[in-house]
Amino acid sequence: MSGIDQWGGSEHKLARRLLASLRPGMLLLADRDFAGHELWGLVEATGCHLAWRIKKNLVLPPLWVLPDGSYVSILPTPAEGQRLARRSVSSRANRQLRIWPS
């Protein structure tokens, strides 16, 4: 699924328009500029799975380390204190990708 907008259009507004196309069981990949609690909740409500990169300056301490060396952490929402799991995955190229899986 993809979307096209006019030159100078907002990527975030376009992303919100695409929410209606998401279905349960789909996997949505998003760049770090889209990671946020409000949009996360809107996508999660569709039943779609999420894997979003997050900014490297966001400090999320490990709660526990997984066998592959990645780890699980939490990110409380500012307003509600809800928790979202986050996993840091090492790729084959030996660099770290930071994602939030649902």
pLDDT digit string (tens) for 54-96?
777 776 778 888 888 887 776 656 654 444 444 444 444 445 5
| 15 pLDDT above the threshold of 50 | yes
> Which amino acid type is present at position 70?
S
Which residues, in sequence order, are CB contacts of 78 under 8 Å at separation 6+? 37
> Which amino acid type is present at position 58?
L
Say what the pTM is. Answer: 0.59
- The pair of structure tokens assigned to 80 is 């509600």
Instruction: Tell which wins on pLDDT, 97 or 72.
Output: 72
Domain definitions of the chain by residue range? 23-101
* Mean pLDDT on 43-50: 87
